[in-house]
């Protein structure tokens, strides 16, 4: 019998201008109580000096521990999208399970240990934990994401669970992306088809949502309500964000159409989807176009 300890986890660490957090992030990965199969550090042409920092750290780690399966892969030009780096890392990974550990986030020492336990159920394709939210200085500003994922107050995330992926889509994922941070997620590599990853990369705003959906179509999802991941938020330019508002709404509409066409959604879920679209339009001052 294959137990969680026998499963090969590839850790992908995408970095872009996160030199301030990189060393601490790497420590949080190296101190995991679950054995890591390989670590792939990616740099997307950083301009803050973290490219050389990351490259040097990987080299030193390898010299200190020749058995450590770790490598650095850098880009000469910025890819333009974080999800492109995810795809690059997934293609390079040789493990059976993927953990995309963003360079500015962090986690508890037992994060992997707890997440990987759920894969002892062979039908589980994605396992993740709750995340607390921290600011640029590492101060916790919110204990979880409950307020943003369950606006309908259904209590969906009140306790840990393992559920059929299709049911998860029809209950909550069809409304909005209910997995808030990729760093909190481990998924089976064989549950993600190349064509689905390529499609996800086409999106500007909802690539992660599409990615999770396609993985969930393949099996079960596990959720651990304990906040073992720490997601760091950064203040963004209002001008830069306003340019994305319209595109974001269009992509939400596309996702909702996809769910309506491919799943058996309840009237309750459909109504929640419409309310979500209305909320996003109101938030960004978008006038509904004629259909």
Percent of the chain with pLDDT over 90: 87
Domain membership flag for residue 46: yes
224 C-beta neighbours (distance < 10 Å), count = 21
How far is the C-alpha of 119 from the C-alpha of 117, rounded, in Å?
5
Domain membership flag for residue 267: no
How far is the C-alpha of 154 from the C-alpha of 147, rounded, in Å?
11
The string of pLDDT tens digits covering residues 117-163 is 999 999 999 999 999 999 999 999 999 998 889 999 999 999 999 99
Domain membership flag for residue 87: yes
The string of pLDDT tens digits covering residues 188-197 is 999 999 999 9
Is the pTM higher than 0.85? The answer reads: yes
- With 0-12 / 13-18 / 19 or more C-beta atoms within 10 angstroms meaning exposed / middle / buried, residue 236 is exposed
Please state which of the ranges 10-19, 92-101, 276-285 shows the lowest mean pLDDT: 276-285
The string of pLDDT tens digits covering residues 87-101 is 999 999 999 999 999
The string of pLDDT tens digits covering residues 29-52 is 999 999 999 999 999 999 999 999
Q: Is the pLDDT of residue 107 over 60?
A: yes
> Domain containing 62: what range?
7-236
Domain membership flag for residue 54: yes
The CATH number assigned to the domain holding 227 equals 3.90.550.10
Q: Is the pLDDT of residue 248 over 50?
A: yes
Domain membership flag for residue 165: yes
Domain membership flag for residue 288: no
Domain membership flag for residue 199: yes
Number of domains into which the chain is organized: 1
| Helix 194-202 vs helix 82-92: crossing angle, to nearest 10 | 160
Average pLDDT over residues 101-117: 98
Domain membership flag for residue 241: no
Average pLDDT over residues 259-270: 98
């Amino acid at each position: 019998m294959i137990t969680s300890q026998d499963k090969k986890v590839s850790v992908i660490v995408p970095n872009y201008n996160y030199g301030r957090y990189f060393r601490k992030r790497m420590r949080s990965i190296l101190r995991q109580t679950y054995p890591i199969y390989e670590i792939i550090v990616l740099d997307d042409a950083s301009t803050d000096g973290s490219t050389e920092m990351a490259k040097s750290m990987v080299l030193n780690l390898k010299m200190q521990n020749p058995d450590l399966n770790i490598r650095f892969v850098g880009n000469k030009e910025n890819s333009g999208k974080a999800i492109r780096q995810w795809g690059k890392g997934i293609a390079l990974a040789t493990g059976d399970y993927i953990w995309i550990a963003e360079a500015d986030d962090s986690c508890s020492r037992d994060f992997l240990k707890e997440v990987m336990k759920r894969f002892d159920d062979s039908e589980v394709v994605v396992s993740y934990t709750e995340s607390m939210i921290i600011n640029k200085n590492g101060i916790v500003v919110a204990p979880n994401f409950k307020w943003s994922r369950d606006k309908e107050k259904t209590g969906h995330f009140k306790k840990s669970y393992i559920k059929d992926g299709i049911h998860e889509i029809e209950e909550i994922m069809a409304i909005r992306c209910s997995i808030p941070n990729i760093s909190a997620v481990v998924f089976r590599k064989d549950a993600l088809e190349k064509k689905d990853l390529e499609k996800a990369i086409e999106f500007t705003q909802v690539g992660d949502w599409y990615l999770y959906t396609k993985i969930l179509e393949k099996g079960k999802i596990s959720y651990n309500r304990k906040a073992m991941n720490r997601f760091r938020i950064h203040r963004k330019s209002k001008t830069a964000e306003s340019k994305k508002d319209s595109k974001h709404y269009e992509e939400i509409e596309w996702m909702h159409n996809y769910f309506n066409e491919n799943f058996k959604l309840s009237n309750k879920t459909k109504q929640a989807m419409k309310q979500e679209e209305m909320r996003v339009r109101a938030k960004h001052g978008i006038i509904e176009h004629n259909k």
